[in-house]
Amino acid sequence: MAEDQLEEFTKKIDWESAVRVIAGLPAELEAHRHPLGFWHVSLGNTSEGTIRLHLWPRSSRYPQAPHWPIHTHTFDLQSIVLVGSIENRLYTTQTAHDGSHRVYEVNYSEADSVLRDTGRIVQASLSGCSAVTARQGYRVSVSEFHETAVPDNCFAATLVLAKQVSRSEAVPLVLGDLHGLSEYRYSRSSINENDLRKGLDELRSHLLA
């Protein structure tokens, strides 16, 4: 991956620089299935953070159970939608003994994500919801609870800058069921070369249409 293309995207976060990144993708890439169902493709590091390609294939998403999509990041997320449409939903939380969700922290062990109960109970409320389509961007601040929704049988892709910030939290958080277990383990399995190639070919065909 050409470093100058990644750096350009880091500084601009715009459609034109995003397309140049996709056009310059190398033949071999590291990719895995995220527990939430999308494909996570690592593209490289820049002076501001890491660049990732997120793909939601029409099939073969396989979100893992329990499916808890509301989460935070330890970085500022800046994203451009390349193909399709996503819905970005933001949430506020307030500590409440009779709340709606149990808070879990996420730790990583080799290829696994491990969720552990923090003992906190919160009331989560939807604070914003926006539909974002191709060529449009969106941001999620560090420690802000959000979820990204893509309809089934719809192909979508985003190019993401995970921007490191000084106020970063130690670990990501997930909102789980109120009566969830103390620990859950999710596998981040690799995407095989053939499936990844098909996904990238579909992405390129949309961008060139």
* Per-residue pLDDT in tens (0 to 9) along the chain, 209 residues: 568 889 999 988 999 999 999 999 988 898 999 999 999 999 999 999 999 999 999 988 889 999 999 999 999 999 999 999 999 999 999 999 999 999 999 999 888 999 999 999 999 999 999 999 999 999 999 999 999 999 989 999 999 999 988 766 679 999 999 999 999 999 999 999 999 999 999 999 999 77
The tokens of 141 are what?
A: 């601040």
Q: What is the pLDDT of residue 169?
A: 66
Residue 102 near residue 117, CB atoms below 8 Å: yes
The CATH number assigned to the domain holding 127 equals: 2.60.120.10
Cα 77 to the center of its chain, rounded Å = 9
Distances (CA, A) of 173 to 118, 121, 181: 9, 12, 15
pLDDT for 208: 79
Q: How confident is the model at residue 109, as a pLDDT?
A: 86
Query: What's the structural domain count of the chain?
Result: 1
> Could you tell me the residue range of the domain that residue 149 belongs to?
3-208
Cα–Cα dist 125/149, whole Å:
17
The set of residues, in sequence order, having a beta carbon less than 8 Å from that of 75 and lying 6+ positions away, is 49, 142, 162, 163, 164, 165, 168
Global confidence as pTM: 0.93
